[in-house]
A and B are shown apart, each in its own frame.
Chain A
Amino acid sequence: MAKTMAEKILSDRSGVDAKAGDLVIAPVDLVFATDSSGPLTIRQLRETGFQGVADPRRTVFFLDHAAPSPRLELSNDHVIVREFVRQSGVPLREVGEGICHQLVAEDYANPGELIVGADSHSVTAGGLGAFATGMGATDVAMVMALGKTWFRVPESIQVVCRGTFGKGVYTKDAILYLIGHIGADGATYQALEFTGETVAAMTVAQRLTLANLSVEAGAKAGICPSDGVTRGFLEARGRGAKYRPLAADAGARYSRVVDIDVSRLEPMVARPHTVDNVAPVRELKGTRVQQVFIGSCTNARLEDLEIAAAILKGKKRHPDTRLIVVPASKETFMQAMKKGYLEIFMEAGGLIAPPGCGACFGGHLGILGDGEVCLSSQNRNFKGRMGNPESFVYLSSPATAAASAIAGEITDPREVL
């Protein structure tokens, strides 16, 4: 039977010839939790009577959401996680090392693997050809305890991207366009499978952005093929031996096929308070912005910072607009430092916060005031997302964010490129 990428990975890992709609039990190659989900995960694990995990080498914890901790309650949550990893021999990525999904891509995820994280954006690793999905604390606790879990093999929507991006238009614009097109529940219970010449030409960083936002259309996984680009990434990171190709079979069955000609796209924004509330940047022109955030597991990788730095070089942020930049990981931070991007941001009047989730979820490092507007390179703009239900969050590419920081209002990056 011709298979989708989702069917291939779940069949391979479960050892059952599975098709969409089937339930399978499969061993999980990597399971992780964060300081956000970790304390409840650990509580549920202990509640069930398990003191440790099935395989510490396939398990990892990240302290990334409150990094470093802004409050004693969160510091105590960190203590819970640190004590657990010490007892159970599980590796811990400490405060300041970076966002879980970025570190999973940098150090753990491989094509064809089955990955479960206690965070909805665990889908990000699909950019490397993994079947990666988010689950809640109890599910993840049981994966840690048993080394496996149940999956319903999802139907897949094939997203075929053709053409080359025009100046000022990026992967983020394409995926926002897609979410606007199919809706925030357009892929619920399904996998998004990205393919076509545009995806083949994308870097791993760009593919991670595609996969990351899949969950904003409700998807269980967002998967990119594994190819020469994937191999190059893995080799550069010392994991060349983990490379294996992945592509859907010709004739695989999809619930829907969506074609996107990226050469016809323009810069997009998602307006408050849903990610599918998408419009071209030009329609929002003139919207005043008090804060620009370039960060998160969506768009804070080195190439994102490079794009933003190219726009901000020699410029100043608007006096009424704060600019907060948070590199996705310590490695990204150090590379951006060496390449001079951080200096450019600071000379432009921006500030750099430590690697981690930063302002993204509204816990610290950039909470908005009443009535304030933030333009962010992140993935979510729900009411209250950046800490204040009386504020407004718009989402865009790093380029649109950078151009808007200079103008103090939402601005098409093509005007400054």
Chain B
Amino acid sequence: MIKGRAIKYGDNISTDLIIAGRYFHLRSNFPELKKHALEDADPTFVTRVRSGDFVVGGQNFGLGSSREHAPLVLKLNGVGGILAKSVARIFYRNAINLGLPVLICDTDRINEGDELEVDLAGGTVTDLTNGARLTFGKIPDVMLRILNEGGLIPYVKKYRDIALPS
């Protein structure tokens, strides 16, 4: 079970909105870079996000660039997971590789500030504030294994290989 508050946005939160190209020069300076997370969508995000919060989006979350700095700055700000109606493919893979769960579910029923409880194994999200119970799409086995190891780096450190679950 993971618990956290919802910080909610709309559709099409692009990787440019999550970390703008104008901060390109800070890419190797994580402490500075993370201060600009989601700045162009919501300048208040970094001041109000708390450890364990969920970023909740609508359709096509994370579209755009392959910049892994997008899920990385969310993680560096303590985000515990991402919930969205649909997620762009590279962002999805990147987030899981960093050990950040991404759950595809009907986020219309979640409101800003709601307390959420996620059961990763059971595939459910409970909105403790309004009582809504949502199921999320299955995370492919290969990704679940990566997620369970804490990300692709710890996974490869452990196995020194990449293999499909048999």
Contact = CB atoms under 8 A, between A and B. Distances in A.
Interface of A: 23-25, 36-37, 39-40, 43-44, 47-49, 65-66, 71, 73-74, 76-77, 80, 118-120, 122, 134-139, 142, 145-146, 148-150, 152, 184-185, 188-189, 218, 220, 274, 361-363, 367, 380, 382-385, 387-389
B68 interface: yes
Contact of B27 (A36, A134, A384): A36
Contacts of A145: 156
Contacts of B17: 382-384
A152 B139 CA distance: 12
Contacts, number: 147
A20 to B, nearest CB: 14
Interface string B38-60: 00100000000000000000011
Interface of B: 12, 14, 16-17, 20-22, 24-29, 40, 59-60, 63-69, 71-72, 86, 88-90, 93-94, 97-98, 140-142, 151-153, 156-157, 161-164
A367 B24 contact: no
Interface centre among A44, A71, A118 (most CB of B within 10 A): A44
Given A39-B27, A120-B65, A137-B68, 17 more contacts: A23-B142, A36-B24, A36-B27, A40-B72, A47-B153, A71-B25, A73-B27, A74-B24, A119-B65, A136-B90, A136-B97, A138-B97, A146-B161, A218-B63, A362-B22, A362-B24, A385-B21
B140 A23 contact: yes
Contacts of B64: 120, 380, 382
Contacts of A148: 162
B138 to A, nearest CB: 13
A23 B72 CA distance: 26
B60 A384 contact: no
Contacts of A387: 21-22
A136 to B, nearest CB: 4
Contacts of A361: 21, 24, 65
B36 to A, nearest CB: 11
A48 B159 CA distance: 11
B60 A135 contact: no
A142 B159 CA distance: 12
Contacts of B86: 185, 188
Contacts of A137: 68, 94
Residue picked from A77, A185, A274, most chain B C-beta under 10 Å = A185
A39 B28 contact: yes
Contact of B16 (A119, A139, A385): A385
Contacts of A384: 16-17, 20-22, 40
Contact of B12 (A66, A118, A274): A274
A120 B64 CA distance: 7
19 contacts: A23-B164, A24-B164, A37-B67, A40-B28, A40-B69, A66-B24, A119-B65, A120-B66, A135-B66, A137-B94, A150-B164, A184-B60, A184-B63, A380-B16, A382-B14, A384-B16, A384-B17, A384-B22, A387-B22
A252 to B, nearest CB: 21
Contacts of A149: 162
Contacts of A134: 66, 90
B89 A119 contact: no
A382 B16 contact: yes
A220 B89 contact: yes
A74 B65 CA distance: 18
B24 A142 contact: no
A387 B97 CA distance: 28
A146 B153 CA distance: 12
A174 B65 CA distance: 22
A218 B60 contact: yes
Contact of B140 (A24, A37, A122, A152): A152
